[in-house]
Structure 1
Amino acid sequence: MNDYGSPSGFVRRCFAVLAIVAFAAAVLALSELLMMIFAAVVIAVIVRAIARIFLRFGIPEGFAVTLAVFSLLSILTGLTWTFGGLVASQFAALLARIPEAIDATQQTFDGWGIDYDVRQAAADISEQMQGMTSQAGSFALSAGGVVTNILLILAGAIFFAAQPELYRQGLMRLVPKDREEVAETAFADSGRALGLWLQAQILSSIVVVILTYIGLVLVGVPSAAALAIIAGLLDFIPFIGPVIAGIPAVLIAFSVSPSTALWTVGVYVVIQQLQGNILQPLIQKRSVDLSPAVLLFAVVAAGSLFGLIGVILSAPLTVVGFVLIQRLYIEQVLGKEAKTPGPGGLGDEAPAKAASEEA
């Protein structure tokens, strides 16, 4: 007998609603921790991708992961040793020139008759960035907190990369037995999509760094290397990142001349067009097909919920969320065919086992 309208049914529904509310409150309260765990997963995917190179030579898995970690650290150390001094000096020069650049921009606007307070706008942007950063938690704002969080993320990434099957089985034990196969496929697709997205995004960022550096050098903007690295790092944030990266470049260019600033705007517009029409479709082809509007609002939503770290991780969060919606809602609830990630476009069904290996 259906007791949907009975008192006991009403009580169960109330408890269900309370459970959902409590779960949502717990997610918000633990948002910083959850974002750190997700960041560790993202780094673990990179480590596993490097480890697979060593696994092909028959090296044991544990030793392969150790070699992957040392290889990644060696690459970062080598880059820092080779270019660290140049980049550090350019960043120092960049920071020193920003006040001068703001004043030069204000004078140019005044000369053109443009009624816009650049100094106040710069102060507002700085205040907003500080407010967004504060949402990540007061613990993370201190220098010690930042270092501690980074170390925790790196340690978690190593643990995840060393024994991914252990943590996957732990998650599977939380899933009802009759839904294990669905969850297995969803987790495998998520890991595969994340790995493919990272590969394409890293390639995209490298191309953006090279193009930005060449363009800024050609138009005569100081601190071109530092500005190019900023552009490459912010390329991981869809839409908003490239715009933010262009602001300091244009300001610095104004300290040279208004014409240099206009050429700088042109450089960033051209690179943005290349990124949007060539590099971004490559990323989507390699991972999941996300519409520009979805990515844009995902950045805003992640920033509102999780602060600065949410903005940084908005793209991989959206990729994983898209795959889970496809498998758990589109396929299971609506009964429609799910779109799956993979080279050659979406819709290419891949075995769960192969997807698990990608993760």
Structure 2
Amino acid sequence: MTTPSDPTSSAFPTVGRVATITVTILAIIGFAWMLLELSGFLMLVFASLVLAAIFGVITQAVGRWTGIGRGPALGISVLLILGVFGGAFTLFGSQLAGEFDTIRESIPPAIDQVRAFLERAGLSESVRDMVEQGSSDVSRLASQAGGYVLTATNGIANLVLVFVAAIFLASDPAVYRRGLLLLMPRRAEPTIAAALDDASRGLRGWMVGQAVSSLVVAAFTWAGLALLGVPASGGLGLIAGLLDVIPMIGPIIAGVPAVLLAFTVSPITALWTVVLFLVIQQIQGNFLQPMIQKQAVDVPPAILLFAVVAAGLLFGFLGVLLAAPLTVVIYVLVQRIYVRTLLGKDIQIAGQVEDAS
């Protein structure tokens, strides 16, 4: 004989489920809020990981060539990087500083020359208004870039923090790897370990390919602008090489000051400067970028473009600089953890040749 169910007893599980869902939602919101509040700190941590990957690659190469242990090899790697940057600054620092001053002082007169040229060409009023709007946008972006540079210059403490943390991470990465795996459930350890290997491999590959690409773009831009007689070709080449780290948007930003300064020579020089950047873009897109993707991860271009915009909105200038490696890491983690493990789909992880079988 069954007894009628007590209405209050069936209500308790419902209340419990509601309470559990409410606490879970609040925990997720609190965690998201904490991540947003700590976004600057998290980007510094990721910057340290990227720099540690660079130290790791150089350390492995030094160890292979010399046969010494990891500690001395890391010390040589750090000294080598400091020596390269210090030597370049000593040899070319004053020259590049003068060229950057030339760039900053020449852009406003160059904009005036562009406007005067368009007026002589008899363009309609609407086109001139559009050009003037674009000129104001360029000036605004230049002022914002100056603010970014000032912020970066004032962030010496953050730079030192990233540099020192990268040395610690590169000295014994296995310690931090084991510590992270200990925080994971036992059944998730193999997946997380494989995901860390995927992310590390993709990050190292991106770093090697991007270094080659930036050097080639900087050298070609410097040489081409020097042949065209554009002022401050060395500084413009350095800007192009540095901005090559930013996918899609970086080369366009680098071309704007070059074309403006070319107008101070002649409109024909400005036209040839546009042709030069188009040729370099073809080399970068058809040769250098596939090389980077082969070494790292073949991330679809649209994802990279949206990642740059999103990283800029969320994390500012540092996010824009780190958008490409951050996208590479997130891309392989999504493939490994979500698509392959959670969804159970048999896919090849990007950049993992051994999974092809």
Common fold: TM-score over 0.5: yes
Distance 1:10 1:133 in 2: 51
- 2:45 corresponds to: 37
- In structure 1, the partner of 2:4 is none
Task: Give, in whole Å, the separation in 1 of the partners of 2:320 and 2:56.
Answer: 24
Asked if the contact 1:103–1:119 (Cα under 8 Å) also holds between the matched residues in 2, the reply is: no
Cα deviation, residue 217, structure 1: 1.9
Separation in structure 2 between the aligned mates of residue 339 and residue 132 of structure 1, nearest angstrom = 40
Q: How does 1:193-272 map to 2 (within 5 A)?
A: 193-272=202-281
> Aligned partners of 1:91 and 1:82: how far apart in 2?
16
- Give 5+ residue unaligned stretches, structure 1: 351-359
Shift of 1:34: 0.6
Q: What does the per-residue CA deviation read over 1:102-153, in whole Å, with 9 as the maximum and x for residues that have no partner?
A: 211121122222413656534434445666898x9xxx93854x11111111
Counterpart code for 2:108: P
Matched AA of 1:36:
L
1:305 offset after TM fit, Å? 1.0
Tell whether the 8 Å contact from 1:106 to 1:117 is kept in structure 2 after alignment.
Answer: no
Partner SS state of residue 355, structure 2: coil
Q: What's the counterpart of residue 355 of structure 1? A: none
Could you tell me how far apart the structure 1 residues matched to 2:313 and 2:143 are?
Answer: 14
Residue 303, structure 1, aligned to residue 312, structure 2 = yes
Shift of 1:210: 1.4
Please, which runs of 5 or more residues in structure 2 have no aligned partner?
A: 1-10
The C-alpha deviation readout for 1:173-228, integer Å capped at 9, x for no partner, is 22111101100110111011000100000001111011112221222211111101
Identity of aligned residues (%): 43
Shift of 1:84: 2.1
Paired with 2:146 and 2:16, the residues of 1 have a C-alpha distance of: 46
Counterpart residue number, 1:322:
331
Give me the whole-angstrom Cα distance separating, in 2, the residues matched to 1:29 and 1:130: 26
Q: Relative contact order: is structure 1 or structure 2 higher (C-alpha 8 Å, sep ≥ 6)?
A: 1
Quick check: 1:133–1:308 contact (8 Å CA) kept in 2?
no
- Partner AA of 1:39 in structure 2: A
Q: Is the 8 A contact 2:115 2:128 kept in 1?
A: no
RMSD: 2.3
TM-superposed CA distance for 1:85, in Å, is 2.8
State how 1:83-94 maps to structure 2 within 5 Å: 83-94=92-103
Counterpart-to-counterpart distance in 1, 2:142 and 2:268: 29
Q: Report what 1:348 is aligned to.
A: 354
Q: Which structure dedicates a bigger proportion of its chain to helix?
A: 2
Match of 2:86 in 1: 77
- Number of positions where the alignment pairs a residue of Structure 1 with one of Structure 2: 340
1:317 to partner: Cα distance:
0.5
> Tell me, what secondary structure is at the counterpart of 2:157?
helix
2:123 maps to 1:115: no
Counterpart Cα distance in 1 of 2:44 and 2:193: 23
TM-score, normalised to structure 1, is: 0.88
